Amino acid sequence: MTVQTVSKGPFEGQKPGTSGLRKKTRVFMEPGYLECFVQATFTAIGGAKGKTFVIGGDGRFFNRAAIQTMLRMAAANGAAKAIVGQGGLLSTPAVSNLIRQRKTDGGFVLSASHNPGGIDADFGVKYNVGNGGPAPEHITQAMFEETQRITEYQTIDAPDLDLSTCGTTQLGSMEVEIVDPVSDYQALMQKLFDFDKIKALFANGFTMRFDAMHAVTGPYAKAILEDALGAPDGTVINAVPSEDFGGGHPDPNPVWAKTLMDEMMSDSAPDFGAASDGDGDRNMIVGRGIYVTPSDSLAVLAANAQLAPGYSAGLAGVARSMPTSGASDKVAERLGLASFETPTGWKFFGNLLDAGKVTLCGEESAGTGSDHVREKDGLWAVLLWLNVLAERGQSVAEILVDHWATYGRNYYSRHDYEAVPADAANALMQGLRDKLAKLPGQTHAGVQITAADEFSYHDPVHGSVSHNQGLRIWFAGEGRAVLRLSGTGTEGATLRVYLEQYAGPDAAHDLAPDAALQAVRDAVVEITEMQTLIGRTEPDVKT
Ligand code: G1P
Ligand code: ZN
């Protein structure tokens, strides 16, 4: 074993969040940088001695080299075993599943999610714990503190391992098992969904396009959709993971998955379209001629999940992040299910899932998941949709129209104002915070405000409280606006404005979302004095 010294902590004041540490790839490649993160993680969890870890990433530039470094360090720190995805590949939900299936102590995911990849783009590492979910706050805090005092890390002098062949080998005194990245995940999907029924759907001519965006879900989607379920060759596009995701952003939304969106809105659209992100935890769902918002997707899945074998006993409850539309609440209310509203970010769902309080959860930012793993899961959402489509024998559009006629429609859109100077963004938020109490009763842009507050979350499992989780304004006629600052932006501040307008079962459901949301949007612009405070009223991105 060799002990290497490091001269500086790797985070430069940045704490790894629950989505791990994300930085420019070149920063991660600096000698000692990645090593510092890994050594600090081992120390924070009480050492690696005798432990087993899952290791894999989304295939972006530096993925394999980083894995070799981590393996040598795990061996030097006395780990008993590492389970590594073949070729260094594992999706985030597949890592979560392997940790749970193989009962390992934890796992490392190498990814910067939907951020671009390449030597001049982004890289990231995240540590997940024994329940398969992201490390909780007390561990990330301990990791951070350790990186402030770390002076050395442990490694061994050994050549790179061949990651391309499945099987077991030794690295120093540590066993390394290279596994097929897909098989355990596929086995889990086969338990949850009626593969025969979905197979019959494809055999009867149902058509689909899945855009893997040159990222990690390519091999998973090929194996499951084309090989196991019989969808024709070419159903999965951009299926080979590339180090720079074909030069694009592997972010499954109408902006970055435009080619797929254009095809789905064309005359020759297939029946169903879907996409997933860099590390396979996000999803986008599109029907022929119709985009399904992530909030609506969660609601439709909650209303129909019992059609899939894995959920036939019904759901314990449904959780959504606070800015996600209330569409899933309407389903929970009518079906008598428990429903929860959590702060933005997947980690808050983990406690509810572990405690058996909810079965499904989701976020407006294209994350949907269930108690099968402790991460959001892109391909899982696609397969649940396929199972529902196969059982109901209707199109995506018919299912949505039917859903809205039953539960009403929550028109919804998120407006992002990017690269706002931090001072200006903070001034806007503070200005709004200061006047929240006076808002109820006021009328802006013709709509009356009924209530306003700042969201605090009381964790019903652990009893902890998270404050300052977003400003909320409710309007007469079931409109709502939420404002918060992004925790993942990289340049200045990103102001997120979430707009929602409910239209009951008997109202019109075919308005353009922008039109349905116009009043709420105009009111927000007026109330926040946006033009004065940040100098603009038009967002950079609308999703
Ligand atoms: C964004 C999304 C949030 C998601 C997070 C990590 O965070 O809005 O829903 O959990 O990325 O994928 P934000 O930048 O808004 O803090
Ligand atoms: Zn992701």
Q: What is the pLDDT of residue 496?
A: 97
Q: How far is 533 from 426, CA to CA, in rounded Å?
A: 10
Mean pLDDT for 96-124 is 96
Atom number in ligand 1 closest to CA 346 = 10
For 426, the token pair is 């903070």
Q: Tell me if 346 CB under 6 Å of ligand 1.
A: yes
Q: What is the pLDDT of residue 62?
A: 98
Q: How far is 252 from 102, CA to CA, in rounded Å?
A: 30
Confidence at 490, pLDDT banded by 50, 70, 90: low
Whether 80 shows a pLDDT value over 90: the answer reads: yes
Q: Among candidates 526, 427, 515, 396, which has minimal Cα distance to 473? A: 526
What is the Cα 171 distance to its own chain's centre? Answer: 33
Are 179 and 86 in contact by the 8 Å Cβ rule? The answer is: yes
CA distances from 240 to 232, 346, 380 (A): 17, 27, 19
List, for residues 229-272, the tens digit of each pLDDT value: 999 999 999 999 999 999 999 999 888 999 999 999 999 999 99
Q: Tell me if 16 CB under 6 Å of ligand 1.
A: no
For 303, the token pair is 């209303």
Of residues 19, 113, 297, 328, which has the active-site annotation? 113
Are 400 and 290 in contact by the 8 Å Cβ rule? The answer is: yes
Q: What is the pLDDT of residue 18?
A: 57
More confident residue, 113 or 488: 113
Ligand 2: distance of its center to the CA of 122 in Å? 13
Q: What is the pLDDT of residue 322?
A: 98
Residue to mutate (ligand 1; options 113, 365, 376, 429; most atoms within 8 A of CB) = 365
Residue nearest to atom 13 of ligand 1 (CA): 486
User: What fold does the segment set 2-180 form as a domain?
Assistant: Alpha-D-Glucose-1,6-Bisphosphate; Chain A, domain 3 (3.40.120)
Mean pLDDT for 493-507 is 97
Residue to mutate (ligand 1; options 126, 488, 540; most atoms within 8 A of CB) = 488
Q: What is the pLDDT of residue 17?
A: 61
Atom number in ligand 1 closest to CA 114 = 12
Q: Tell me if 475 CB under 6 Å of ligand 1.
A: no
Q: What is the pLDDT of residue 21?
A: 86
* DSSP H/E element including 381: helix 378-392
Q: How far is 510 from 525, CA to CA, in rounded Å?
A: 25
Q: Tell me if 347 CB under 6 Å of ligand 1.
A: no
Per cent of the chain over pLDDT 70 is 97
Mean pLDDT for 208-231 is 98
DSSP string, 5-58: E--S-SSTTPPPBTTBEEEEHHHHHSTTHHHHHHHHHHHHTT--TT-EEEEEE-
User: Among 31-35, 59-63, 79-83, which stretch is predicted with the lowest mean pLDDT?
Assistant: 31-35
Atom number in ligand 1 closest to CA 364 = 9
Q: What is the CATH number of domain 409-542?
A: 3.30.310.50
Domain ranges of the chain: 2-180, 185-407, 409-542
Ligand 1: distance of its center to the CA of 92 in Å? 16
Whether 2 shows a pLDDT value over 90: the answer reads: no
List, for residues 275-291, the tens digit of each pLDDT value: 999 999 999 999 999 99
Q: How far is 212 from 274, CA to CA, in rounded Å?
A: 9
List, for residues 33-56, the tens digit of each pLDDT value: 999 999 999 999 999 999 999 999
Alpha-carbon torsion 128, 130, 131, 135, what sign?
negative
- Strands 52-57 and 81-89 turn out to be parallel
Q: How far is 57 from 61, CA to CA, in rounded Å?
A: 10
Confidence at 3, pLDDT banded by 50, 70, 90: confident
Residue nearest to atom 8 of ligand 1 (CA): 365
In 393-439, alpha helices (H) = 396-407, 422-435
Ligand 2: distance of its center to the CA of 529 in Å? 34
Whether 57 shows a pLDDT value over 70: the answer reads: yes
Domains 2-180 and 409-542 are alike in CATH topology: no
Q: Tell me if 490 CB under 6 Å of ligand 1.
A: no
Q: What value does the mean pLDDT of the chain take?
A: 95
Residue nearest to atom 11 of ligand 1 (CA): 488
Q: Where are the beta strands (DSSP E) in 141-204?
A: 152-155, 167-171, 174-179
Q: Is 506 exposed, middle or buried (0-12, 13-18, 19+ CB in 10 A)?
A: exposed
Mean pLDDT for 416-432 is 96
Model pTM? 0.95
Q: How far is 215 from 241, CA to CA, in rounded Å?
A: 4
Atom number in ligand 1 closest to CA 488 = 14
User: What fold does the segment set 185-407 form as a domain?
Assistant: Alpha-D-Glucose-1,6-Bisphosphate; Chain A, domain 3 (3.40.120)
Whether 441 shows a pLDDT value over 80: the answer reads: yes
CA distances from 334 to 301, 337, 407 (A): 14, 8, 8
Q: What is the pLDDT of residue 8?
A: 55
Does residue 7 carry a catalytic annotation?
A: no
Whether 73 shows a pLDDT value over 90: the answer reads: yes
Q: What is the pLDDT of residue 1?
A: 67
Alpha-carbon torsion 312, 315, 321, 322, what sign?
positive
List, for residues 174-195, the tens digit of each pLDDT value: 999 999 999 999 999 999 999 9
Per cent of the chain over pLDDT 90 is 90
Atom number in ligand 1 closest to CA 345 = 10
Residues facing 453 on adjacent strands: 472
Q: What is the pLDDT of residue 35?
A: 94
Mean pLDDT for 332-354 is 95
